[in-house]
Amino acid sequence: MSNRRTFLKQACGATCGLIASVLLGDLVKAAPVPGKKPYKAEMDEQNRVNIPLEALEEEVLTIRVKDLEYDVLLYRKTVEAGVEYKAVYLRCTHFDNGLKVTPGGLVCSMHGSRFDFEGNVTESPAQRPLLQFPVTANTETNFITIQIQNHEQ
């Protein structure tokens, strides 16, 4: 009886562990960038959003802009000449769905499209890259300015 109980305990433990690791594996892949809540910002009269450089502590920053339907992702890319900034609109180009930011890129929960942090499609069904906004970095004021445009198309 004791052997049977031990066997059942071990078998259940191994099976539950396997199921948990598969489920957790998926959750970890889809998890948002750790420790980051969306940065809240507003547009000025010229549809510009100003972000202090210090807000971009990591490679990516999700920005929740008042009056915009979807969030904006600010991405800092290291290039040979230094640093480049990209801002992409987190609206899937397949059927207009908000994208989730994960450590590996941007994911659409509707039909599974994936994009890199620069907005390029890495997995269909989406065919078009994400909308990008022009970005300027002012090293004197230490602010990054994102020019919001064409987001209603």
Binding site for ligand FES (CB under 6 A): 92, 94-95, 97, 108, 110-113, 125-126
Residue closer to ligand FES (CB basis): 49 or 126: 126
- DSSP letter (8 states) at residue 125: S
Minimum distance from residue 121 beta carbon to ligand FES (Å): 10
Task: Tell me the closest approach of the beta carbon of residue 94 to ligand FES, in angstroms.
Answer: 3
Q: Which residues contact 104 (CB under 8 A, 6 or more apart)?
A: 29
Q: Phi-psi region for residue 117, left (φ > 0), alpha (ψ -120 to 50) or beta? A: alpha
* 83 CB-side CA count, 13 A: 15
Residue 99 CB, shortest distance to ligand FES, in Å, is: 8
